[in-house]
Amino acid sequence: MIKDVMVRLDGSASDDPRLHAATDLAEIFDSQLVALFINVLPHIVPDEGIAVVDSAVLINQAREAGDAIEAKLNDRLSQIRKRFELRRFDVFADVVTDVAAREARSADAFVAIRPNGGGEESASVLEGVLFGSGHHLILVPQPQSDTRAFGHIVVAWNGSRESARALSESMPYLYRAQNVSVVSVVEDRDIEQEAVLGEDAVLHLAHHGIHAALRHVPVENRDVAATLLNEAQRSDADLIVLGGYGHSRVREWLLGGVTHTLMHKSPVPLLLAH
């Protein structure tokens, strides 16, 4: 069940599309809206010739600016007639991603605008939430996308742990969908194995009372991401469920190719989980 939906707000024009998408999702599930306000403090380098007292002044000014933004956000949130909570953190820029991931662990879903979609969250924050929260990320492709219509959901399935995690996280959405398709992209690596790929996922969904159709789609030009996008558009999907792939290198998140492509180019809302 989706009982709390988190969205990051910062007092900028980007808040409108983010809040629009998050409010739509909260309406679907009658959830509480959790607004995350991370007030970024200036990082002062001592050898820049700025005195300690000046550094303190700049930080205090940033906190005061945050007070004004917080008041603005409270006013904006009170107008949507939805239960909400506003969480504020005053931190330096180098820990913003860590704070977002930590806070997202206590919410069922984190909603954001897709990178390059206009009004988007920074890619580093999205990756931090995806890999560090333990919950799913809903990415909307453009500011006014309709996140209320999840009539047809496409589940991208390759039998991996990430696929299983995404499937589990998507259950509340799948229960509400009119049509569910489990799509496995066939890459001709093991014909015998790929012939049955996805049958286990369809059976698992059936155990939950969810009827899903299975489709094996041949890979196009060795491009799995493009194949999934084409299939989603061909079938008029409203949501793509996808496992988020990647690994860390000294806290630098490196996305897999399919995840990166869909995060930046999908015209369809995404549910991503790792």
CATH of the domain at 220: 3.40.50.620
Do 132 and 193 have their domain in common?
no
Q: Which residues of the chain have pLDDT under 70?
A: 45-53, 117-120, 143-149, 188-195, 246-255
Q: In what order do the strands lie in the sheet with 32-41?
A: 84-92, 32-41, 4-8, 109-113, 136-140, 270-273, 239-243, 152-156, 179-186, 213-218
Closest CA to 242 of 255, 254, 251: 255
The verdict on residue 32 lying in a domain is yes
Predicted local confidence at residue 27, as pLDDT: 93
Backbone region of residue 138 per phi and psi (left: phi > 0; alpha: psi in -120 to 50; beta: other values):
beta
The verdict on residue 146 lying in a domain is no
Task: Answer yes or no: are the C-beta atoms of 188 and 224 closer than 8 Å.
Answer: no
The verdict on residue 145 lying in a domain is no
Do 249 and 217 have their domain in common?
yes
Predicted local confidence at residue 250, as pLDDT: 39
How do residues 119-129 score in pLDDT, each as one tens digit? 567 888 998 99
Bridge partners (DSSP) of residue 87 are: 36
Do 175 and 196 have their domain in common?
yes
Q: Tell me which residue range forms the domain holding 80.
A: 4-140
Domain count, the chain: 2
